């Protein structure tokens, strides 16, 4: 099972050209992916998308025949009566059994005002060759450390709850098939990916991977390439947000998937976005 995650900067390359087609081509250059997770996907924001497709999830779906495309809008607003959305996408050619959208916390304080936006985690439970797996993709807050920390803790807490539901499933009566009470595809196997806007060693990274608490996530890079430094995924070719390149785009996996982690790679050559895409291959 091959997955690619990429913060696309609304499909805008470093040349300023907005092109969903180039994003899909770039992801395919990495692998014949089964699942594609994209962040910063826009609908009807002309200041972002310019003359390209106004509905980027629809454009991506048209570029991926045979895949089911799920869009999670962290922002869904209607100024002047026009729907504008911004969020994350999961595209899968494996069967999707369940879709969930997790609104992440954005606590505010009385400090000096700063920019921020609502955040979401889009989730699709997918039928892999070995069983069910939760694929979760997100994009955490960039400007606010307090919000980003709260969001990382919320994701860990949600994962713990989902694992508890898998271990202790709800009782389903025989006559409840094809009703909202029917059996849910709960599973311990989980993949959490995206642009986290934190680095290895940060408090947020620790909150997700702390093994002293139940249901820790594991950094797939450290499993596939132990003792090797994470390749940069941001600010590699563009210093708009800082002079030094960093690694902030990750694939985390549940403990139950650790033994399936094969390759983890970063495309450090593409300039189709201001972030670099990351590939995770799980063994069957």
Contact 200, 234 (CB under 8 A): no
Nearest to 248 by CA among 138, 168, 165, 153: 138
pLDDT at 114: 83
State what percent of residues in the chain have pLDDT above 90. Answer: 92
Instruction: List, for residues 178-208, the tens digit of each pLDDT value.
Output: 999 999 999 999 999 999 999 999 999 999 9
Exposure string (b/e) for 87-116, b if CB count within 10 Å is 16 or more?
bbbbbbbbebeeeeebebebeeeeeeeeee
- Is residue 109 predicted with pLDDT exceeding 80? no
pLDDT at 253: 98
pLDDT at 215: 96
Write down the mean pLDDT value for the chain.
96
Looking up tokens 């919000």, which residue turns up? 147
Instruction: List, for residues 250-272, the tens digit of each pLDDT value.
Output: 999 999 999 999 999 999 999 99
d(CA 13, CA 106): 29
Distance of CA 121 to the CA centre of its chain: 7
Mean pLDDT along residues 95-113: 91
Question: For the domain bounded by 2-170+183-282, which CATH number is listed?
Answer: 3.60.10.10
Mean pLDDT along residues 14-32: 97
- Is residue 113 predicted with pLDDT exceeding 90? no
pLDDT at 112: 76
State what percent of residues in the chain have pLDDT above 70. Answer: 100
pLDDT at 272: 98
pLDDT at 80: 83
- Is residue 111 predicted with pLDDT exceeding 80? no
Model confidence band, residue 226 (pLDDT cutoffs 50, 70, 90): very high
SS3 content of the chain, % helix, strand, coil (to 5): 25, 30, 45
- Is residue 133 predicted with pLDDT exceeding 80? yes
Tokens standing for residue 115: 């920019």
Instruction: List, for residues 229-241, the tens digit of each pLDDT value.
Output: 999 999 999 988 8
pLDDT at 168: 96
pLDDT at 74: 98
Q: How far is CA 119 from CA 54, 144, 208, in A?
A: 21, 12, 17
- Is residue 51 predicted with pLDDT exceeding 90? no
């Amino acid at each position: 099972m091959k997955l690619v995650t990429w913060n696309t900067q609304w499909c805008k390359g470093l040349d300023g050209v907005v092109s969903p087609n180039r994003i899909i081509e770039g992801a395919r250059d990495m692998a014949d992916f089964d699942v594609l997770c994209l962040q910063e996907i826009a609908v009807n924001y002309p200041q972002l998308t310019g003359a390209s497709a106004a509905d980027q999830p629809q454009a991506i779906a048209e570029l991926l025949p045979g895949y089911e495309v799920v869009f999670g809008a962290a922002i869904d607003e209607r100024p002047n009566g026009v729907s504008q959305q911004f969020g994350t996408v999961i595209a899968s050619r494996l069967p999707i059994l369940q879709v969930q959208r997790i609104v992440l916390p954005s606590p505010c304080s009385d400090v000096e005002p700063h920019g921020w936006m609502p955040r979401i985690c889009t989730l699709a439970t997918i039928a892999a060759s070995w069983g069910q797996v939760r694929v979760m993709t997100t994009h955490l807050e960039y400007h606010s450390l307090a919000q980003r920390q709260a969001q990382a803790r919320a994701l860990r807490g949600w994962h713990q709850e989902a694992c508890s539901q898998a271990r202790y499933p709800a009782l389903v009566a025989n006559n409840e098939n094809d009703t909202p009470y029917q059996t849910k595809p709960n599973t311990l196997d989980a993949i959490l990916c995206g642009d986290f806007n934190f680095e290895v060693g940060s408090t947020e990274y620790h909150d997700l991977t702390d093994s002293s608490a139940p249901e820790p996530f594991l950094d797939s890079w450290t499993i596939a390439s132990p003792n090797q430094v994470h390749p940069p995924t941001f600010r590699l070719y563009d210093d708009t947000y800082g002079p030094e390149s960093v690694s902030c785009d990750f694939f985390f996996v549940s403990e139950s998937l650790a033994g399936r982690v094969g390759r983890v790679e970063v495309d450090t050559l593409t300039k189709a976005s201001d972030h670099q895409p990351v590939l995770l291959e799980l063994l069957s």
